[in-house]
Structures are given as C-alpha cells and as structure tokens.
Amino acid sequence: MKALIYEKSIPRYLASALAARLDRRRFFPRVSPLRLAETPYDPPAGWVRLRTLLCGICGSDLGLLKGHESVLLEPYASMPSVLGHEILAVVEEAPDGSGFSPGQRVAVEPILPCETRGLAPCRFCAAGDYNLCENFLRGDLPPGSFLGFNAKAPGGMAERTAAHPSRLFPVPDHVPDETAVLVDSLASVLHPVLVHFPGDADTVVINGMGILGQHAVRSLRALGSKARIVAVARHGFQALAAKAGGADVVLRSPSRQALGEAVGATFTPTTLGGGNLEGGADLFLDCAGGARAFEQGLLALRAGGGYVMVGTTARLSGADVSSLWFRQLTAVGSASYGHATDPRTGKRVRTYEVALELLASGSYPVDGLVTHLFRLDDYAKAFTAAFDKRGHASMKVAFDLRP
C-alpha cells in the first residue's frame, strides 16, 4: 500500500530541526525523515482491517517533522512508522465477534493501551484512564502509545490501516466525512474541558485559537457552560472563528495590560519585567504552549486558579513562575483522552464517545474548521499548509484518501 513513512534518522531529524528554525512556516521534504513509499500491509492479528477515508494532520505530527518533540519521549515510539492518528475509515474486513462489518464507517481512537497489547489491564486501564497506561512499552506491540508512532500498528496517512476492535466507534450515516474527521482533535481538548469544567460564574481564558482552541470554545458552549470565555488568537481568521464559536471576548496577541483588563485583573507596574496582574481568571486553558504563554497564563489567574497545558510543549525556558507559588496556583498537563465526568449528567463517560456525540448532534459549529484537503501524493503541500497557518488561513488540514 502507499503510505507516508517516518524513518528514524538522526541526521535528517536534526536537519529538519535546523530548517524549522530558519523558516518555521515551510516544510522541507528533501531533508525530512518522511517519505511516500509502498509498504507491506500486515496489521496485527485480530484487528479490524480498514480503508482510510480521511486522516487529519495533528500538531504532534508537525512537531515531529520540525524536530520539536521531546527527546524524553523517544522510547514511546517505534520506527519506521506510518504517520497519522486522526483517522476516519471504512471497514474492509472484521474478525468474527468484533461487532463490526464490511462497509461500516468508523472513527479510530488511536491510543494503544493494555487491551490492544494482549495484556491484563494495568491500574490505570482498569480505572478507565487508559491514556495513562503503564504498558506502552510492553506486550504484543512494539513500543509506541499511539497509532502513527508504532512500527507494527500503521497510522492513517496510508491507503489502508487497522485498529483493535476496542478502539473503533461507528459514525452515524448523517455525519459528513469532513465533520467526523474532527473527532480526535475534539476529544484531545474535550478531555481537559471535562476534567476541569468551570462554574457558570467563572472566567476562562483559552489561549491559542488553532483547532484545539476552537474546540475548547465550542465544547464548553455545547456542554452548557455559561462561563465567560476570553479567547486569545494570533491571526484574524482565528479570531473570527472563535467569536463564531461562542467566545465572549476575543483578543489578538494582547499586551499583558490588555489581557488583565479582559479578565478583570488590576495591572500593577513593576520596575522590570513588564508589570504584574492582581486578580484575574479562574481557569487558563493553554492550547498553544510555549514559555511566554505559560508565564502569561500564570499571571492571568486569580489566587488559587488553574493552568492546564493542553497544547503539547517540550521545553519552557525563561518563564517567570513566581505566580505559581505566590498565588498558590495549580498547573497540570493533559494527556489525550480516556474517561471523565460529563457535567450534564454527573456520570463517568468515555471522552471519545462524547466527542462523536457532539459532532453528530448537528448543533456543534463545524463550519470553517476543516480548511484544506490534500491527496497523499501532495503531502509536501499539505504539510506546508499546516505549517503556515497565516499564509494559508489553515485550521485543520487533512489527507483525502477517498476514491
């Protein structure tokens, strides 16, 4: 089958990192460890065989191609691997008793926890928190926590892929392909939204209005939150989308003083360091990441507030974190999705199921979220569009493998 294969090459990885520093809005296929090639199709035994329809490009894919991923996470991937984990597919062949049949359209939850590895559930998997699985390095599969980062479990940037039956979700017939491919990106931010669901009187800052930030705004509203949402966007098209999604206030790359005013904080001048904020938001969802955003997030919070790192960040350099202890803040990360409490019912639910439910409801605003579709042969153009958000006004870029 034809697939985009990422190979382990330290020279090419370092060359990609250097190229990204020289021009972060371009993809350089000649130096990248990524190549389009024919590869054998040999999925694990007992898995459902799938034909890919659409596969979205995730920020983690871009980070890998830019050489920005944490070197500490190297053990949690195995190469060569077929990239892509935001997968919409159709069943080609399913084992007896799997509950699936040929022709069925499915969304693929790409995590590879104990159940997919032929192992008894670890303590986290037993509790439904399989995103924190302790066995991503063990079992019948090679190391790798996700489809697309595993040498034996192919990702979705290929003509065919496969998945363990426990990772598949039937997609209702009325949901368009271009909507269904958003399930994974929605689930990624829906999980921290569910875990840290704000009160109606709270103020929430959502930093970064790429696809994750857009989903954060929309999922809060779709779940009934009346919290005041302050969205921070870099680009004009992102700001417009955030407003359409339900944000109360949208700021474009605001100064510290402007951010403070938006969250009801008092700006306090300092001789050095650009000033401090007193008071502020209850919750800061950081969907962009980086040292500056981390520092601004801590400053924008009232005493006892919470910072949640939603967008993945490998390193934080130079950030002043004194607000963390001075205001007794909570700073936490968020790892993909598992189970969480639904604020509408108080029941524990599977995040992926809620994401699909919201997208299938017809009331979740999806217009303008999928902005670009590319054929697999045009992968260089696809990654360029995903890298250069301003130049291409790109939100979600995906590969279209439909006939």
Answer yes or no: do 18 and 52 share one domain: yes
pLDDT at residue 366 above 90?
Answer: yes
Is 35 inside a domain boundary? yes
The listed range with the strongest mean pLDDT (24-38, 213-227, 261-275) is: 213-227
Is 177 inside a domain boundary? no
Answer yes or no: do 233 and 301 share one domain: yes
Is 203 inside a domain boundary? yes
Percent of the chain's residues with pLDDT above 70: 100
| CA dihedral over 394, 6, 106, 193, signed as positive or negative | negative
pLDDT digits (tens, 9 = 90+) for 6-27: 998 888 888 888 888 888 888 8
Answer yes or no: do 247 and 322 share one domain: yes
pLDDT digits (tens, 9 = 90+) for 311-349: 988 888 889 999 999 999 999 999 999 999 999 999 999
CATH number at residue 198: 3.40.50.720
Q: What residue spans of 52-115 are helical by DSSP H?
A: 59-66
Residue 314 is predicted with a pLDDT of 83
pLDDT at residue 163 above 90?
Answer: yes
Residue 28 is predicted with a pLDDT of 86
Using CA atoms, how far residue 14 sits from 3, 32, 69, in Å, is: 23, 9, 11
Angle at 255 between CA 249 and CA 260, to 5 degrees: 60
Residue 256 is predicted with a pLDDT of 94
The count of domains in the chain is 2
Answer yes or no: do 379 and 255 share one domain: no
CATH number at residue 387: 3.90.180.10
User: What is the distance between the alpha carbons of residues 342 and 348, in angstroms, rounded to a whole number?
Assistant: 6
Residue 235 is predicted with a pLDDT of 97
Q: What residue spans of 31-158 are helical by DSSP H?
A: 59-66, 123-126
Band (158; pLDDT cuts 50, 70, 90) = very high
Residue 30 is predicted with a pLDDT of 87
Residue 95 is predicted with a pLDDT of 95
pLDDT digits (tens, 9 = 90+) for 171-206: 999 999 999 999 999 999 999 999 999 999 999 999
Answer yes or no: do 210 and 310 share one domain: yes
Residue 29 is predicted with a pLDDT of 86
Using CA atoms, how far residue 15 sits from 59, 97, 183, 209, 313, in Å, is: 19, 47, 33, 29, 20
Answer yes or no: do 95 and 163 share one domain: yes
Answer yes or no: do 199 and 261 share one domain: yes
Structure tokens of 256?
A: 């510290």
Is 363 inside a domain boundary? no
User: What is the distance between the alpha carbons of residues 82 and 76, in angstroms, rounded to a whole number?
Assistant: 15
Structure tokens of 176?
A: 């368009």
pLDDT digits (tens, 9 = 90+) for 65-86: 888 778 888 899 999 999 999 9
Using CA atoms, how far residue 279 sits from 29, 196, 211, 298, 374, in Å, is: 47, 20, 29, 11, 46
Angle at 165 between CA 38 and CA 132, to 5 degrees: 95
Answer yes or no: do 212 and 302 share one domain: yes
Q: Are 191 and 340 in contact (CB under 8 A)?
A: yes
Is 83 inside a domain boundary? yes
Is 379 inside a domain boundary? yes
Residue 372 is predicted with a pLDDT of 98
pLDDT digits (tens, 9 = 90+) for 229-265: 999 999 999 999 999 999 999 999 999 999 999 999 9
Is 116 inside a domain boundary? no
Neighbours of 22 (CB within 10 A): 8
Answer yes or no: do 204 and 312 share one domain: yes
pLDDT at residue 273 above 90?
Answer: no
Residue 9 is predicted with a pLDDT of 87
Is 226 inside a domain boundary? yes
Domain encompassing residue 320: 191-346
Answer yes or no: do 299 and 327 share one domain: yes
DSSP 3-state assignment of 209?
Answer: coil
Average pLDDT over residues 108-117: 98
Answer yes or no: do 154 and 251 share one domain: no
Answer yes or no: do 238 and 342 share one domain: yes
